[in-house]
Structure 1
Amino acid sequence: MAERIIISIGILLLIMGCSSRYQVKEMSVGIAAEDKSDLMVGTVLFDDAWSVPAGSIGCCWKNAGALSFVDGVNFPSKVVVAWYDMETDLFRVGEATIDNKAGYEFIKEMKPFIDRRTGQYKDRKLPYLIVGMKRDGLIKVWISNAPGNYLGRQILEIGSGMAQIKELPPEEQR
């Protein structure tokens, strides 16, 4: 009987060790749009558990235009994004699935980079999770070791999805 309990506990620990919940000590989260967009981003919600503010975004595809900082969160497996395109007058809501295992592995293997402006060598392990939106509804998610155009920058696409056009909420609820 004791042998079965020990084996059961061992199997349970093995399963828990292979969980898809990857804790991140600290991370920057960037919100980006294709260049020359005029998007008002309202919701950026990860795993229905934590979110980051966004606001007006008009550039910086893959480069984390609006940055927020989070710590002590689980690396996400999905993101829900809602935005209003001011030029086309369309409201979109969509979800992107994120390969959180690939993102977590990327973080563990991150390399240093060099700031082009200052020439400074940066060896910090601060990942940048970037959520990008295009006017056609495409949502992309990347993980990077640096926010923009730095020497030694690494970037990996870890998620994608598509937003659907939704009816705007009534004026008094906006």
Structure 2
Amino acid sequence: MAKRIIIFIGVFFILIGCSSSYQVEEMSVGVAAEKGPILMVGEVTFDETWSVPAGAIGCCWKDSGALSFVYDTPFPNTVVIAWYDLSTELFWVGEAQIDNKTGYEFIQKMKPVIVRSTGEYFDDSTPYLIVGIKRNGLIKVWISNSSSEAIGRQILEIGSGMAQIKELPPEDER
């Protein structure tokens, strides 16, 4: 009996140690698109538990785009995003898998930057989680230590996925 309890406790601690839930105190979440088309982005949902609004996005790939801030949130494993391309009149829905361990490790090692416009040293520990979308349905997820206007910016791709064209929801559900 004692042997079973020891095995159970060992397995329990291994599972806890391999947990993929990494808590982030504060994080900036941005949605970006390739330059050109205007994409109307609805809610961006992470792990089916928390979300951020977006709106009209027309620029810029790997930039922070439309920003929202979240607090005391688990670093996500997935993102689901839906958008409407005004120029092609297509509605897209897609999901991207996120390597949350790599993203969290990046946050732990973030370095300060220099603000390009002022030359000031900026040591802010707020990470930027960026979800990028393209007209062809490609979804990319990056983690960065600043917006694109900084010297010393670090950015790392931590996720990707593809969206599919869907029928628009009925008028009364939009």
TM-score normalised to the size of structure 1?
Answer: 0.95
Return 115-124 or 126-135, whichever deviates more. Answer: 115-124
Deviation at 1:32, TM superposition (A): 0.4
SS, match of residue 35 in structure 1: coil
| Aligned equivalent of 1:134 | 134
SS, match of residue 91 in structure 1: strand
| Aligned equivalent of 1:19 | 19
| Aligned equivalent of 1:45 | 45
For structure 2, list consecutive stretches of 5 or more residues without a partner in the other structure.
Answer: none
For structure 1, list consecutive stretches of 5 or more residues without a partner in the other structure.
Answer: none
Q: Tell me if 1:96 matches 2:60.
A: no
| Aligned equivalent of 1:107 | 107
| Aligned equivalent of 2:36 | 36
Deviation at 1:123, TM superposition (A): 1.4
Q: Distance in 1 between matches of 2:134 and 2:90?
A: 12
Count of aligned residue pairs for this structure pair: 174
| Aligned equivalent of 1:9 | 9
| Aligned equivalent of 1:117 | 117
SS, match of residue 80 in structure 2: strand
Deviation at 1:15, TM superposition (A): 2.0
Q: Distance in 1 between matches of 2:66 and 2:72?
A: 20
Q: Distance in 2 between matches of 1:36 and 1:141?
A: 20
Deviation readout 1:91-125 (Å, 9 max, x if unpaired): 00000011111101101111111100111111121
Deviation readout 1:142-169 (Å, 9 max, x if unpaired): 0000011310000000000110000111
Q: Distance in 2 between matches of 1:100 and 1:173?
A: 33
